[in-house]
Structure 1
Amino acid sequence: MSDFRNRVVLITGGASGIGKIMGRLALDRGAAHLVIWDQDATALARTAAQWADAGPRLHTLAIDITNTTMLETACHALLQQLQRVDILINNAGIVAGKLFQDHTAADIDRTMQVNSLAMMQLTRLLLPGMMARGEGHICNIASAAGLIYNPKLSVYCASKWAVIGWSESLRLEMEMQRTGVRITTVAPYYINTGMFAGVRSLIPILEPAPTAGRIIRAIERNRIFLKMPGLVNLIPPVKGLLPIRWFDWLVGKVLRTHATMTYFTGRRE
């Protein structure tokens, strides 16, 4: 079991959505320190004001995690101040929600950087300390889109496929070396936050609070892979058994997943 009590917890993208809810759950479970990194300084300030009861246990930083130099500086300062990070939740993510040909070069770079590369770089910086202590937990928030393809999600799917492949490979490396560092990979369906505003789905969209709760419990129980809802567990075997056109028909025509992004608007700031 991975206990949050007296642990130092770092959550990226933690000023809103499920990241914020997971942060509150970590505090309620007795985390010694909760560190929230987010690029939205206004949301960070609002969260800090709402959680005044956390006192010195709460630490916030407005940071662009795709800036590796900034990330390295922030990690160095954090470790100087708190000495360690016990639980890292790589939660930050973005989505463009457009046809591939409508992406700009900046759209592609930003999506891959935020959703994939930044979490690898952050993990690279914090992993040595965990390995030296012989314990730690890294939770990587991927997506069901990392298991299946979908129109208007091409680059997003690519970034989340990358997360799953990297996260599972990292888990095996940690196990083979007997490091004591646990890895949990999470692949949720659409979540009812501003990030996917406008999505319409035959499959029920996940609600933030119960989704965040399940992720926290998965960390506590050292779950290897959490897919939500349960239907997502069927994607790999069904995809492997059916011919591609049949699978496309099942997902696109029967479950109507291929039309889910038709009315996508995304978060409007």
Structure 2
Amino acid sequence: MDNFKNKIALITGGASGIGEIMARLLMERDATVIIWDINEENSEKVRLKYSSLGKLTVMKVDVSNSSEIKNAASQVLSDFGGIDVLINNAGIIVGTYFHEHSKVDIANTMNINVNAPILITHAFIDTMLSKNSGHICNISSSGGLLSNPKMSVYVASKWSLIGFSDSLRLEMEQLNKNIKVTTIMPYYINTGMFEGVKSKIPILDPEATALTIIKSIAKEKKMVSIPGYIYRVTRFAQAILPVSIFDWFTGNVLGIYKTMDHFKGRKN
């Protein structure tokens, strides 16, 4: 997909953070954009801010609720006949030790971070298959590659999303379908979601990260870590080092196991 002109793109969590930026970037590239977000106030701000750029539809959807996903997907299929690009971007993090999570915390994290992308993809995949075209981009995390304290449930959700996303890619290739799947694995991004995180590795700029994702979709890349070395270094080190040495290097040298010590997160 070398350009997005006249393509219909759906972005979950598109009313803030990199979701909002990706919506703007796609509209600047002449795509029709549909935003799903639970925050009506932010969605309306985005609509007023970017509607002059082109075609933009905002919908209030709680992606943790399977019934809302089903109803919203039915509306999109009815109004637009399908979508060309799906960006599963919505995500949450609790940011505390596992025993301090409530059952609601656990359910919401898994529902939003992994169940929602699976269900949303399932809602649109048949139309993509019938047209034999489409692109699905799942925003996972470098946390899907690396264990980290105070992120246990978040990490579980992102590991799951990577597994689902890349397996789906292989299925489409095995079936000889022209449906591309891109899995994105960014490091911490400087948005409200990770407010308070301290890191020796530079925290990512939202604008640059969003642009990298849009370019990755255009180039039909399969798996993308941001920065690019994260995937290679992590996988190589995990393969050759004993767990105790890997933990020492990751925790003491890189300081990653302490990055969440001062986590505050996004204020609702």
Q: TM-score, normalization: structure 2?
A: 0.98
Aligned equivalent of 2:108: 110
Which SS does the other structure have where 1:51 is aligned? helix
Cα deviations by residue, 1:57-76 (Å, 9 ceiling, x for unpaired): 11001110121111111111
Aligned equivalent of 2:37: 38
Aligned equivalent of 1:239: 238
CA contact (8 A) 2:28 2:53 kept: no
Distance in 2 of aligned mates of 1:85 and 1:17? 22
Aligned equivalent of 1:216: 214
Cα deviations by residue, 1:21-54 (Å, 9 ceiling, x for unpaired): 00000000011x2000000000001111111304
Which SS does the other structure have where 2:96 is aligned? coil
Aligned equivalent of 1:17: 17
Which SS does the other structure have where 1:227 is aligned? strand
CA contact (8 A) 1:44 1:60 kept: yes
Residue 84 of structure 1, CA deviation? 1.3
The alignment's C-alpha RMSD in Å is 0.8
Alignment map for 1:1-269 (pairs within 5 Å) = 1-31=1-31, 33-54=32-53, 57-233=55-231, 234-269=233-268
Distance 1:224 1:28, change over 3 A: same
Distance in 1 of aligned mates of 2:9 and 2:144? 25
Which SS does the other structure have where 2:73 is aligned? helix
Distance in 2 of aligned mates of 1:195 and 1:119? 19
Q: How many residues align?
A: 267
Distance in 1 of aligned mates of 2:88 and 2:190? 19
Distance in 1 of aligned mates of 2:15 and 2:267? 16
Which SS does the other structure have where 2:197 is aligned? coil
Distance in 1 of aligned mates of 2:67 and 2:161? 21
Residue 101 of structure 1, CA deviation? 0.4
Distance in 2 of aligned mates of 1:23 and 1:133? 24
CA contact (8 A) 1:2 1:137 kept: no
Amino acid at match of 2:42: A
Residue 3 of structure 1, CA deviation? 2.4
Which SS does the other structure have where 1:89 is aligned? strand
CA contact (8 A) 2:22 2:214 kept: yes
Distance in 2 of aligned mates of 1:228 and 1:251? 18
Distance in 2 of aligned mates of 1:201 and 1:129? 42
Distance in 1 of aligned mates of 2:216 and 2:234? 20
Q: Which runs of 4+ in 1 moved over 2 A?
A: none
Distance in 2 of aligned mates of 1:27 and 1:230? 26
Distance in 2 of aligned mates of 1:157 and 1:115? 10
